[in-house]
Amino acid sequence: MATVKPNLDSIVAHLPGVRDAVAEELEGRADRVRAVVEAHRLTGALSAGMTVRTNRTDSTVTLEDRAVVAINYGHMAPNGRWVAGIHAIEAGL
C-alpha cells in the first residue's frame, strides 16, 4: 500500500526549482501590476507603496495606500460622478 508523507507539501514547496518558479511567476505578475499603477499615476503615492516580496516558499505583491480600494475598484467623486477604478490588482491575477 502506498503512503504519502504528511509534510509532502512542505518538502515540495522548499525544492529550489519550485521556489524559483514561484518567484519568477510573481515577477511577471508584479510587472503587470506595476504597468497599470504607473499608467494611472497622479501623485506617485500608490506606486511608492508597492512592494514585491519573495520569501522562502511564497511571494506577494502589496499595494499600500489609504485609498487603495477606491483607486483599484472605483469610487464616487465629491461631485457625484463615478470614477472608474484602475483594476491593478486584477492585472496581477
Q: What is the pLDDT of residue 2?
A: 84
Cβ neighbours for 72, distance < 8 A, ≥ 6 positions apart: 63, 85, 86, 87, 88, 89
Q: What is the pLDDT of residue 3?
A: 87
**13-72 pLDDT per residue, tens:** 889 999 899 989 999 999 999 999 988 877 778 888 888 887 878 888 888 888 899 999
Q: What is the pLDDT of residue 55?
A: 80
Beta-strand relationship, 50-54 and 82-84: unpaired
Q: What is the pLDDT of residue 45?
A: 81
Q: What is the pLDDT of residue 15?
A: 92
